[in-house]
């Protein structure tokens, strides 16, 4: 395949008069993790369903290609190149994990012996060998998700759509899933990941697109997105209003909040900057009750971009007020 694994231009989808996707452009390079990030109801699942041929985009959409195949002209070829797991899980709870896998092997027309080999290998890889003979309904949430991904891999897809793969999982299972996703990418698979979790996108994604109001509000690497919001700051909190007032006059550049009795000073949080700040407070004979250092993270980006009062373009207000 030459070109990107996924390229969508002007993706549109409406239900009645509700516009869910309003001209979304997506480009995902082969062998990378692309994360579509958005709050509940933003349209992430809708995008996955369109790109995986489960539903049709609106006719006004531009060209969409997945795995080098035109989605409209050759949906069969797209289906052969992809795997989808997520909210619409393919796991059948009434049969065992191994039976679910063998069913998948049959669907992919693998010869019996090959099907059994691939099944055993994948069950082993996803730490499901012990549970293989038990009905899938007895599996924990994490085991079920692992089985779901293992089933998807039976067909050796080059592109995998993971729709909120860790929603509802406990922290250990989430980290297991992250490890599985990293291994997939090491094997050259392209992963299209939707998530509501900023740390997940930060941890895994090569590129992140933030979906908001039907369009991509921002796209880039985690580092690029973090640069969109104002830098970090140090926050000083006081319990004594007089100390707060004195500190405010000693630190004239600080933004003060007289109700919360806090001062906020722009700072990258380096040791040198902190020492200078503490020296200035010492010289003025002021002691803060609490000092916290805040560096921008994806949360800040997310809230700044998807907050109700976002101005057009890149937000220019401090992240605290953007929430």
Ligand X SMILES: Nc1ncnc2c1ncn2[C@@H]1O[C@H](COP(=O)(O)OP(=O)(O)OP(=O)(O)O)[C@@H](O)[C@H]1O
Cβ atoms 50, 64 nearer than 8 A: yes
Is residue 40 a contact point for ligand X (CB under 6 A)?
yes
290, burial (CB in 10 Å: exposed 0-12, middle 13-18, buried 19+): exposed
The CB-of-25 to ligand X minimum distance in angstroms stands at 17
Is residue 42 a contact point for ligand X (CB under 6 A)?
yes
Contacting range for ligand X; rule: CB under 6 A; set: 33-41, 126-134, 174-182, 300-308: 33-41
Is residue 12 a contact point for ligand X (CB under 6 A)?
no
Decide whether 17 or 253 has the Cβ nearer to ligand X: 17
Decide whether 166 or 319 has the Cβ nearer to ligand X: 166
**Which ranges of the chain does DSSP label H, i.e. alpha helix?**
44-51, 75-81, 97-107, 112-125, 141-153, 171-186, 198-204, 222-226, 241-250, 271-283, 298-306, 319-322
Decide whether 38 or 157 has the Cβ nearer to ligand X: 38
The CB-of-166 to ligand X minimum distance in angstroms stands at 12
Is residue 52 a contact point for ligand X (CB under 6 A)?
no
Cβ atoms 152, 84 nearer than 8 A: yes
Is residue 41 a contact point for ligand X (CB under 6 A)?
yes
Decide whether 43 or 318 has the Cβ nearer to ligand X: 43
Q: Which three-class secondary structure state does DSSP give residue 193?
A: strand
**Which ranges of 11-67 does DSSP label H, i.e. alpha helix?**
44-51
Sign of the dihedral through C-alpha 95, 100, 102, 106: positive
The CB-of-61 to ligand X minimum distance in angstroms stands at 15
Decide whether 13 or 235 has the Cβ nearer to ligand X: 13
The CB-of-190 to ligand X minimum distance in angstroms stands at 20
Rounded Cα distance between 261 and 245, Å, is: 9
The CB-of-71 to ligand X minimum distance in angstroms stands at 17
Contacting range for ligand X; rule: CB under 6 A; set: 35-43, 59-67, 268-276, 282-290: 35-43
Q: Among residue numbers 173 through 232, which ones bind ligand X (CB under 6 A)?
A: 196
The CB-of-48 to ligand X minimum distance in angstroms stands at 8
Cβ atoms 207, 35 nearer than 8 A: yes
Cβ atoms 200, 36 nearer than 8 A: no
Binding site for ligand X (CB under 6 A): 15, 20, 38, 40-46, 196
């Amino acid at each position: 395949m030459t070109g990107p694994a996924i390229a969508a231009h002007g993706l549109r989808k409406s239900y009645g008069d509700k516009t869910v996707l309003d001209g979304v452009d997506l480009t995902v390079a082969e062998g990378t993790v692309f994360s579509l990030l958005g709050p509940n109801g933003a349209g992430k699942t809708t995008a996955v369903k369109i790109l995986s041929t489960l539903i049709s985009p609106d006719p006004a959409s531009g060209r969409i290609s997945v795995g080098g195949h035109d989605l409209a002209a050759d949906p069969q070829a797209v289906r052969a190149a992809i795997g989808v797991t997520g909210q619409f899980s393919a796991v059948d709870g009434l049969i065992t994990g191994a039976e679910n896998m063998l069913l998948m092997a049959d669907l992919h027309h693998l010869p019996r012996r090959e099907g059994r080999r691939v099944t055993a290998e994948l069950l082993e890889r996803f730490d499901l060998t012990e549970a293989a003979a038990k009905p899938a309904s007895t599996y924990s949430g994490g085991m079920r998700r692992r089985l779901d991904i293992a089933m998807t891999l039976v067909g050796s897809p080059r592109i995998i759509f993971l729709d909120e793969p860790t929603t509802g999982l406990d922290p250990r299972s989430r980290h297991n899933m992250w490890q599985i996703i990293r291994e997939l990418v090491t094997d050259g698979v392209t992963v299209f990941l939707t998530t509501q979790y900023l740390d997940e996108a930060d941890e895994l994604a090569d590129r992140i697109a933030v979906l908001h109001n039907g369009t991509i509000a921002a796209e880039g690497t985690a580092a690029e997105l973090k640069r969109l919001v104002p830098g970090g700051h140090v926050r000083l909190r006081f319990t004594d209003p007089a100390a707060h007032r004195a500190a405010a006059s000693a630190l004239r550049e600080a933004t003060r909040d007289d109700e919360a009795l806090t001062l906020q000073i722009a700072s990258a949080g380096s040791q040198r900057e902190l020492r200078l700040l503490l020296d200035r407070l010492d010289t003025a004979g002021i002691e803060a009750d609490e000092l916290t250092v805040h560096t921008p993270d994806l949360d800040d980006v997310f809230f700044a971009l998807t907050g109700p009062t976002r101005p057009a373009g890149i937000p220019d207000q401090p992240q605290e007020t953007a929430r």
